[in-house]
Structure 1
Amino acid sequence: MSGYGKGEVRSADGTTIGYRRWGDGPALILLHGGMLASQHLTGLAEALADAFTVCVPDRRGRGLSGGHGGEYGVAREVEDVRALIAETGANRIFGLSSGGLVALRTALAVPELERVALYEPPLDAAGSMPLDWLPRFEREIAAGRTGAALVTALKGMEVEPVLGRVPRFVLTPLMAIAGRAGREPSGDDVPIEALVPTQRFDIRLVQEMAGTAEEYASVPAQVLLLGGARSPAYLRAALSRLAAVLPHARSVTFPRLGHSGPTNDGRPLVVAAALRDFFTADPGRPARPDGAGR
């Protein structure tokens, strides 16, 4: 992995937001999703670093950044991104999953954003996102059973189809071992054990933004909606709803990808190709709606 620089900004409530930085060029912000940190988007960042100054923050509550704070919600996350925009001059942003929710809400609040790319934001409509697993997850976190909680979240959200076919009694000890192995992170990386409990805050964003699709009809930015054909139906439905509401939106579906497509565990180079086309398109020419059929 090539080297990266680091920076930090101070959000409106005083929270420090730290970020990793690659490349040289127009600024581009990448926002990770739930149970992830900036370390999981390094492949995507490096693939775009020859054309952009890529800034990947640890969203609050993780790694280089401060805690969630007592009044956590989407407004705090938007303030964090505002601080990054003010520091970097970015007018382009990408968000994965709950990071996509943050990017979407920021696009509504910050008209300076010209191009916004969203990969499967879990925008809930009429209870479309499964959340019946959440009480069990909370109990397991409270009991310190991080591996079990990870299994509960992954099975409940249905984002990893293979895991859905593996019994819990097989998965839980494997996840517990993985968590213990990751207790000593490398460099700025955040251990798995520290990331799993943060999922409760990302679910809070999902709940807060549920039923808000119509509000994004006034987003002025060009928006690229990205998703994988192997992802759960409720995520594909959220993208379809946004495509119908957003005034300047185009969609790309990756036939061979699922929800983790942009991460290091997915196929970040494939996603980067679509993002490069979108973010480098001439302002007077809309980005192509294809170019990602791999």
Structure 2
Amino acid sequence: MSSSVRSPDGTVVGFETLGDGPPMVLVHDTGADHTRWTAVRERLAERFRLHLVDRRGRGLSRDEATEYDIRREGEDIAAVAEAAGGGVYLLAHSYGALCALEAVRKTDAVTRLVAYEPPRPKPGGHVVGPEARKRMRAAEKPEEILEIFLREALRLPPADVEAMRRTPVWPARVAAAHTIPRELEVVQRMVFDERLGEIAIPVRLFAGTESPEYLRLAADAVAERIPGADVVPMRGQAHQAMDFDPDQFVGAVFDFSGA
């Protein structure tokens, strides 16, 4: 079932709902939409009522306000959490985890958060270098933007990119590719500061043991700022454990459910 809410700036934020149980809001990564949870959604829905968000600029979401700001994405997620009725378990991946960290400071409808590798470059470094970002801006096809992102930001080898191309969610990733450059600009400027110390709900970070170093360091940096937060490793996995080891991923999500 598809539903939507209107965010404070007028953007319509769409989401798909399924399952029974306490509410869980799922927030996807860069260059994706709500279908990125395909590998785990049915199992999660056995214990939770899922609200799978399409972040602004793609899929079920529409009427996006002109000026992009990650703080507005936080308002979007907060609005979905409030529509879900409160008591929400928020599960967010990559850039979506950055949006979730904004959201939990804007609403008390979220009562716990899993943030899987919210990205930030190493000090003085780049997630994607200036030359690659220039190639993205010059790309004639959305698929070229997506491929540059997967190779340069996630450090995926060509074989893994080709494997992703054969998955059912590839068309949705291509359709969302136009949002990648703006999100990379936010990531490049990202600072984890004292505002994270304002978060007073249980928070757990997931970090792949095989992920690029900058992602593992970023997860540690967030956990250090949030009182009581910890980091759980996705062993043998990188940035996409939900796709390549769904058993480990779902087990870790359930372990933090508080049930």
TM-score where L is the length of structure 2:
0.88
Aligned to 2:174: 193
Number of aligned residues:
255
**Structure 1: which 5+ runs fail to align?**
282-294
Cα shift readout 1:79-131 (whole Å, capped 9, x = no counterpart): 11121122112421011000000111112232442211000000345344423
- Asked whether the equivalents of residues 43 and 269 of structure 1 are also in contact (C-alpha less than 8 Å), the reply is no
Structure 2 CA distance for partners of 1:128 and 1:120, relative to 1, 3 Å: farther
Aligned to 1:279: 257
How much does 1:29 deviate?
0.3
Q: Distance in 2 between matches of 1:193 and 1:240?
A: 31
Partner of 1:114, secondary structure, is: strand
Q: Distance in 1 between matches of 2:125 and 2:222?
A: 14
Partner of 1:8, secondary structure, is: strand
Aligned to 2:61: 65
* 1:38 matched to 2:34: yes
Aligned to 1:96: 93
How much does 1:25 deviate?
1.3
* 1:15 matched to 2:11: yes
Aligned to 1:108: 105
- Report which of the two structures shows the higher radius of gyration computed on alpha carbons: 1
Aligned to 2:134: 135
Alignment of 1:126-275 (within 5 A): 126-132=123-129, 133-140=132-139, 144-160=140-156, 162-163=157-158, 191-208=172-189, 210-262=190-242, 265-275=243-253
How much does 1:147 deviate?
3.4
Partner of 1:225, secondary structure, is: strand
How much does 1:148 deviate?
2.9
Q: Distance in 1 between matches of 2:153 and 2:112?
A: 28
Partner of 2:102, secondary structure, is: helix
Partner of 1:108, secondary structure, is: coil
TM-score where L is the length of structure 1:
0.79
Q: Distance in 1 between matches of 2:13 and 2:146?
A: 25
Cα shift readout 1:45-77 (whole Å, capped 9, x = no counterpart): 211112111110111111111154311111210
Identity of paired residues, percent?
Answer: 29
How much does 1:138 deviate?
1.0
CA RMSD in angstroms comes to 2.5
